[in-house]
Structure 1
Amino acid sequence: MAVRTGKGAGLVSAVGTDRAALGAWAGTRLGVLVLSVAVAAYWSYGDLKDSFLDRWTQWDVDLFIEIAKYGYRGDPSQPQDAGLPAFFPGLPILIRTVHYVVPSWELSALLISLVAGAVAMVALARLARLTGGDAKAVVALLLSPYAVFLFAGYSEALFLAFAVPAWLLARQRRWEPAVLCAMGATCVRVTGIFLAVALIVEFLVADRRWRLTPWLVLPFTPVAAYALYQWRRTGDWLAWQHAQQEGWGRSMAWPWDAFRTTWQAAFGDHNEFTGAFRVEIVAAIVGVALTCWLLARRRWSEAVYVGLPLASLLTSAFYLSIGRAALLWWPLWLGIGRLRWPAYLVVIVVFVPLLTEEVILFTSGHWAG
């Protein structure tokens, strides 16, 4: 019996990892699809939508599509939404591009997340394999409570499709393509800025081929271009930040004030957002613990990637979207994927009912994070 060795064995192993990641992606997407159809048929509260696509076009998806249709001025038949500049242009541009082929705006957004998510999961599986793990990290992410947003037409899947390959390439010291991928991530979400900073830290710690230094500036250029565009459109260099304030009331606050406000919203009031604020607090605790663990392990670049955006979220007027931001913390999912099976299965058993609840909330029109 022949035994594969060397590069051949490595190639077979890599192909197996990719297949496992794609299988996990396809299987969980099918599960979410079946669950959302079942919710529409048998169990719904909140705003019941008539069609499958409408039920998946909630909250920010509507805003991404509005930008794709009309630009940042928004629907001319409606009052102008001051919050639209809070969304980076990468996803709306891609939705508009796909719409030239796919007639439905809503389906275009879903298809982008579907394809981008597959790319991201393969890259995450390869990153896990590079660090001694396997596709368990992918499964953990796909079954995590907020993974509903990897199915919906949100920007998380598209961001990960650029950011995880960027990190994988950086770990392989392939800086030029890593930087190009990071530029794509920066077009999609402001989190790309923190990825760019983390890449600089990784370069300084692990490489230092100084001739490559100019490449590390490139991921910041989409942010500068977007700021220039908004300045020319509105006369405001900080249009993104002011849109956050106008649209969601997100302004700078001392971390203890932000925590106190969020705690009051989570336990002092009782409304449809109460549960979401409780999850935000849990996600904040996980994020702080993860950052401290990365610092203790001297994984400086990953600590920067997780810690800097977390610090910005913890110094907002109140906690918002921290749970969703956790989808982007690949060190968390790699760490969970390295757990021993009993502990790993406990995590998955906790995750699945929470994900089920999030799918029900999102597809019935309730706030899901």
Structure 2
Amino acid sequence: MSVISPRSREEATSLPLPRAAPVPSAGRSGGTGSGGADSWGSEPRGTGRRTGRLRLSAADRDVLWLYLLTRAAVWTTAYCARWVFPADAGSRDPGPALASFERWDWGHFLNVARDGYFPAGDGPWNADWDNREAFFPGFPLALRAVHAVVPHWTAAGLLISFVAGGVAVLALARIARLYLPDARAGRRTVQLLLLSPCAVFLAAGYSESLFLALALPAWLAAQRRAWPLAATLAALATTVRISGLFLAAALALHFVLTVRTRADRRRLPWLALPALPAVLYAWYLHARIGDWMAWKHAQERGWYRRFHAPWEAWGTTWESAFDHVQTTGYAFMFQAELLTMLVGLALAALLIRRRRWPEAVYVVLSLWALGTSYWYTSIPRATLLWWPLWVTLAAWTLRSPRFRTAYYCLAAPLSTVFALTYLTGRWAG
């Protein structure tokens, strides 16, 4: 395995920046002083410094304050939605305080956490089966554990997302500081994520926040060549979402491009660890219902995720969006799916052009998985997991105030519409 030069290593692992702005190496703080990336996690090998402990710098506290403010905004929106848009227009009772967050996928997570995957012999052989095995066990297991302390199931799910989201935004800010020399990079990147159209799902009892709380620290660990830690965190992320395997592929490529010493090469077997949760889950499903591919088959039954050529998926989604075959609410969301696919393709092309191969692999695998079904489903939500997108947008908004203003003017109404759509029980994201 060849060793690449420091310059080519930076080119292989950095995000696209406007006009090739200088990018600090993984072993430096990114020009942010005490708020730099070295204040978190393991240090790069060979620095001669002890592994740093988790410490909150002034920049980290600023990010957490922003996070708390946006959580308050989401909860305020949820409160208003209950009163202004009740299920029954003539109702005088807005319903339970947390009912706005008990939507869609939450029901599947709750069913698994409370009753298991196949309660009382129930399963996919029944006509009314809910296909709950389509959801990986990481979030339901966390939900069941937290429920032992927090008796209310919905409150327990919201608490998981709240805590995990705080971890995720801290990690995202530190990733941004690795890539961008501007001291404002961390806060700006987090701000763009938290004000993005589908940001409401980071506050709901969904799996996105928990996944990011594991995946982003895994990526940080990889930047410091702490491969056992990176692989372990990626394995935990895979218990939450199948996207953990896409992360594992990006980590493996990053390993190949940055390996330096024989000691680094000896850590190669660790990179197989993220596949273990998926294998164990497949084994569990086979032991229960005799189907190694039960997860995929549940996706096919419940969400039409049978393989179709990318142009077929695009055509079906386009028809659903613009040919008046769906109600207006669904048609609007299919329009959002198409737009987000274009954003994802543009991001992938930019990453490839800039030779950011690991990040490109992560995004391309995500697009392939989402773009080869009968039609597009949940691509807008998937943008929450594309950390290269938010770092790239941060670079552009830091360089161009006009671009920043244009983005916020577009994102603000979309964020409000998506939040209200989800909180009032309509399909969103």
Band of TM-score, shorter chain: over 0.9
**CA 111–305 in structure 1, closer or farther in 2 if over 3 Å, else same:** same
CA distance in 2, matches of 1:9, 1:285: 34
In the alignment, what sits opposite 1:255?
A: 310
In structure 2, give the amino acid aligned to 1:71.
G
CA distance in 1, matches of 2:227, 2:205: 30
CA distance in 2, matches of 1:220, 1:138: 29
Q: Judge which range, 291-300 or 354-363, deviates more.
A: 354-363
In the alignment, what sits opposite 2:75?
A: 33
In the alignment, what sits opposite 1:352?
A: 412
Match for 1:236 among 291, 307, 311? 291
In structure 2, give the amino acid aligned to 1:18.
D
**CA 297–12 in structure 1, closer or farther in 2 if over 3 Å, else same:** closer
Q: Judge which range, 292-301 or 201-210, deviates more.
A: 201-210
Match for 1:315 among 361, 365, 372? 372
- Return the offset for 1:247: 1.2
Matched, 1:91 2:139: yes
- Return the offset for 1:130: 1.0
**CA 46–255 in structure 1, closer or farther in 2 if over 3 Å, else same:** farther
- Give the alignment of 1:199-218 within 5 angstroms: 199-207=251-259, 209-218=264-273
In the alignment, what sits opposite 2:215?
A: 163
CA contact 2:221–2:230 (8 Å) conserved in 1: yes
CA contact 1:280–1:320 (8 Å) conserved in 2: yes
- Return the offset for 1:313: 1.1
- Return the offset for 1:45: 5.6
- Return the offset for 1:75: 8.0
- Return the offset for 1:356: 0.8
Per-residue CA distance 1:161-215 (angstroms, 9 max, x = gap) = 0000101111121111111111110000000011001100000011252101011
**CA 265–18 in structure 1, closer or farther in 2 if over 3 Å, else same:** same
Which has more radius of gyration?
2
- Return the offset for 1:122: 0.2
Per-residue CA distance 1:13-51 (angstroms, 9 max, x = gap) = 561221122112111010111111112122346798611
In structure 2, give the amino acid aligned to 1:53.
L
CA distance in 2, matches of 1:57, 1:76: 26
CA distance in 1, matches of 2:100, 2:426: 11
- Return the offset for 1:250: 1.5
- TM-score, normalising length: structure 2: 0.81
Q: Judge which range, 275-284 or 176-185, deviates more.
A: 176-185
In the alignment, what sits opposite 2:331?
A: 274
CA distance in 1, matches of 2:303, 2:66: 35
CA contact 1:252–1:315 (8 Å) conserved in 2: yes
In the alignment, what sits opposite 2:319?
A: 264
**CA 76–151 in structure 1, closer or farther in 2 if over 3 Å, else same:** farther
Gaps of 5+ in 1: 1-5
- Give the alignment of 1:120-159 within 5 angstroms: 120-132=168-180, 133-159=185-211
Per-residue CA distance 1:68-112 (angstroms, 9 max, x = gap) = 001112588996625111100000000000000001011111110
CA distance in 2, matches of 1:289, 1:46: 42
- Return the offset for 1:9: 7.6
- TM-score, normalising length: structure 1: 0.94
Partner-residue secondary structure (3-state), 2:65 = helix
CA distance in 2, matches of 1:302, 1:12: 24
In the alignment, what sits opposite 2:108?
A: 63
CA distance in 1, matches of 2:189, 2:35: 20
In structure 1, give the amino acid aligned to 2:267.
L
In structure 2, give the amino acid aligned to 1:249.
Y
CA distance in 1, matches of 2:232, 2:402: 39
Partner-residue secondary structure (3-state), 2:267 = helix
CA distance in 1, matches of 2:369, 2:88: 32
In the alignment, what sits opposite 1:364?
A: 424
CA distance in 2, matches of 1:52, 1:260: 41
CA distance in 2, matches of 1:65, 1:349: 36
**CA 75–318 in structure 1, closer or farther in 2 if over 3 Å, else same:** farther
CA contact 2:304–2:373 (8 Å) conserved in 1: no
CA contact 1:44–1:360 (8 Å) conserved in 2: no
Matched, 1:52 2:112: no
CA distance in 2, matches of 1:162, 1:12: 21
In structure 2, give the amino acid aligned to 1:351.
A
In the alignment, what sits opposite 1:292?
A: 349
In the alignment, what sits opposite 1:3?
A: none
Matched, 1:118 2:166: yes
